[in-house]
Chains A and B, each alone.
Chain A
């Protein structure tokens, strides 16, 4: 056994989507068999400007989109969620699951010419990922030591089996940093974070704050022949309508994240010069949900929660507020992560009569004004779409006699109110499910994830011994099959106990010029290096 992902077959859905899409691809991409053209400058657009360019330290979506070009990880994902070599050429796990040995490439140098060795791996995992990565200390909690018997072998020792780490070795999550430049400094304040030196396909050139980040081709890149582009320039454009204009005028060719408003997607799609690509986000896996604050009544009563679930028409929500770029969720894990996804989960169909009956049974009778319950709702502050969804919830719940007051805040206030003060009745947001539910899903359900003051943690306050037991088994189970069975059980419990309503699998998308070829469609493709991209005729 090497990793849990290698045992998985490519799902039929992925294959079908791939086959269908290839017929629709622009001419340049269809000639994918042809030799890639080299040279040229690609202008990409970011929003907002990242805080630093080393995603292993200041991780955020735009930081990763730049940083993945400058740094590599030990492994990468291919389009079927399987691992493929990057800085590591091969890897193996001991029978008891507590030792992972990576064989490393011996032809890699840092951009300053120093050779890359296993010491860099040991330093990065132990001193950076485990200490200063926002979730690294949780994912790598059981990593106790990294041995370096020779410069091209890294032996990771764990106190107990940790299958979850296989979801974090990719370069978009765990980067390998140069030990010789970071050792002895505080990694968070190292000035190199603004002018990074990596092993990646592109070399950092300049960063003019507020305007541009310029990368140039790494002529010594270990993946011979790549990259194809001479230069990549990232521009910062905050206004979504202006981002669309930059694409349409050809001033920018690639927007990896949140390129244009949902309402503009159809127009951009219709243009023969532009492409909207929804693949490449199966790794981040955004899942949208509706939380109850279980500290407050009447949400302790499961009938009330069930009533809400029956009152929300997820299909209508997907089609109106999200312009069809979303799909009703059947549980907390997205359906495209077939290795984990549980089919036949309990579902709550859209049924107003049932919802009203449940509320009546819970003793919440309608008053003379038709209102049986007055509550508030705080939508996520990460974008206008979620505020519009809040309007939808208000209208939908009105139909069952629940009067909702919407409370909209700016991002910092939202984080404070929801995750520190827990001052809400209901709350809606999306979290990344990440490529392993232990990273992205358990934080919504585990009692230990009730962490006051920590964004994107357990906000509903669910603390259920049965759920906790399953989660703790998932964390320590070394056998992939047994662990996946526990993951399916977690999804079932999440649907039965219903601390929050799983609403939608959101669809994120990239937009780019039809002249580009070689766009990476792997599960983290939206954040992935541009080393595979070239400008066609």
Chain B
């Protein structure tokens, strides 16, 4: 077993180098497409901001467009943007009066905290529940867990979030209804960590409720498939106890689809859950991107999309490496 968990070092490095070479043109293509596609949306930031102001004069609109650089020909705007990008400058968000990179760097950790926590919780519980379901297929634990996961999968996230708020915040007053910190008083040190943790409970649970359903169903079906295979029958025939069979033989071989799913979700991590961030007033990337769409804050949107595409590529790469680690038949090349 230990042998299979090692990857040939030289090959991995060569593989990584090759992928990096592929990544650069991919990201460039994404940026170029985004730049032009986003401009197909009717309306611009100047109109949105004049709309927010309640009224405006044409001179005011022209002034805003000039300030935002929207008065220049599209080609000039494009070359300016690309020029900035090569200096790792993602531009300025006029709607948020802040450089795009700073905005992303302050919001991304908040979203990562939320999403990683719920993903870890969901994967752990999902695998456990899935394994139990598969082991007792057709019996009552399977029935209960299938019912719960179907409900989790089918229930709208925002509704789950709101119901948790009504129950635990409004009625029971156990947990805060939203936000990331207690704003009535400032906490420091360990108390501040505890404060954030307390604010995380409801959003993490709502998100996990949905993801657990996915992982439960995935694990269950993958394990059922493996359970039918010859080597499992052989293991049983050798007299190995059911639990070691389930964990060491069946589950390990059923992990691949779960890794695929986790990789996919890691990639979309930064775009986060718009719904949960909105319902729980969580200052994350999802809400940032969502608002940017409706405010036509193109610079910000381009920045968020750039970051997200980068993350998707990195997590795909990581997924490939984990495949090879889990299944010696898969090789990196």
Contacts and interface: CB of A to CB of B under 8 A. Distances in A.
A134 B56 contact: yes
A22 interface: no
Interface string A426-457: 00000110000001100100000001111111
A246 B97 CA distance: 27
Interface stretch (A51-59, A318-326, A486-494): A51-59
A208 B56 contact: no
B201 interface: no
Given A43-B184, A246-B178, A411 B43 contact: yes
B320 interface: no
Given A135-B57, A251-B176, 11 more contacts: A59-B54, A135-B55, A189-B67, A193-B97, A210-B288, A235-B183, A242-B278, A245-B162, A251-B184, A415-B43, A454-B58
Interface string B169-193: 1100100111111011100000000
B298 to A, nearest CB: 11
A331 B217 CA distance: 61
Interface in B47-68: 47-61, 63-64, 67
B220 interface: no
A48 interface: yes
Contact of B162 (A235, A237, A241, A413): A241
Question: Which of B158, B281, B295 lies at the interface centre, i.e. has the most chain A CB atoms within 10 A of its CB?
Answer: B281
B49 A454 contact: no
Interface in B145-201: 158, 162, 165-166, 169-170, 173, 176-181, 183-185
Contact of A416 (B47, B59, B291): B47
Contacts of A235: 179, 183, 281
Contacts of B158: 239
Contacts of B51: 411-412, 415, 455-456
Contacts of A238: 278, 281, 287, 291
B185 A51 contact: no
B84 interface: no
B121 to A, nearest CB: 22
B178 A251 contact: yes
A233 B180 CA distance: 14
A155 interface: no
Interface in A240-278: 241-242, 245-246, 248-249, 251
B107 interface: yes
A284 B44 CA distance: 25
Interface string B256-292: 0000000000000000000000111101100110010
A132 interface: yes
A186 B173 CA distance: 49
Residues of B in contact with A, size category: 35 or more
B52 A410 contact: no
A224 interface: no
24 contacts: A41-B185, A49-B291, A60-B49, A60-B53, A133-B60, A134-B54, A134-B60, A135-B57, A135-B60, A188-B67, A237-B179, A238-B291, A242-B280, A245-B165, A245-B178, A248-B170, A412-B51, A412-B294, A412-B295, A415-B50, A416-B47, A443-B55, A454-B50, A455-B56
B307 interface: no
Contacts of A452: 58
B52 A60 contact: yes
A51 B52 contact: yes
B95 A51 contact: yes
A132 B63 contact: yes
Contacts of B294: 410-412
A235 B158 CA distance: 20
A532 interface: no
B48 A415 contact: yes
B165 to A, nearest CB: 5
Given A236-B281, A249-B169, A454 B61 contact: yes
Given A51-B97, A453-B47, A454-B61, A135 B183 contact: no
A212 interface: yes
Contacts of A48: 291
Interface string A211-224: 11000000000000
Interface of A: 41, 43, 48-49, 51-52, 58-61, 132-135, 137-138, 186, 188-189, 193-194, 208-212, 233, 235-239, 241-242, 245-246, 248-249, 251, 284, 410-417, 419-420, 431-432, 439-440, 443, 451-457
Given A212-B183, A235-B281, A451-B58, A411 B162 contact: no
A195 to B, nearest CB: 10
Contacts of B6: none
Contact of A209 (B63, B98, B295): B98
A456 B56 contact: yes
B94 interface: yes
B41 A413 contact: yes
B96 interface: yes
Nearest to B168: A249
What 6 A-B pairs have minimum CB-CB distances, sorted nearest first? A412-B43, A210-B283, A60-B52, A211-B283, A134-B56, A134-B53
Contact of B279 (A49, A241, A284, A443): A241
A454 B279 contact: no
Contacts of B166: 245
Contacts of A251: 176-179, 183-184
A242 B177 contact: yes
Contacts of A43: 183-184
Contacts of A417: 42
Contacts of B179: 211, 235, 237, 246, 251
Given A43-B184, A412-B294, A239 B279 contact: yes
Nearest to A236: B281
B72 to A, nearest CB: 17
Interface string B33-51: 0000000011110011111
A419 B43 CA distance: 10
B47 A237 contact: no
Contacts of A242: 162, 165, 177-178, 278-281
B106 interface: yes
B55 A412 contact: no
Contacts of A454: 50, 56-58, 61
A292 B51 CA distance: 20
Contacts of A415: 43, 47-48, 50-51
A412 B50 CA distance: 10
Contact of B55 (A239, A245, A432): A432
B281 A209 contact: no
Contact of B96 (A49, A233, A419): A49
A2 B59 CA distance: 32
B49 A58 contact: yes
B279 A135 contact: no
A453 B291 contact: no
A134 B180 CA distance: 35
A401 B47 CA distance: 36
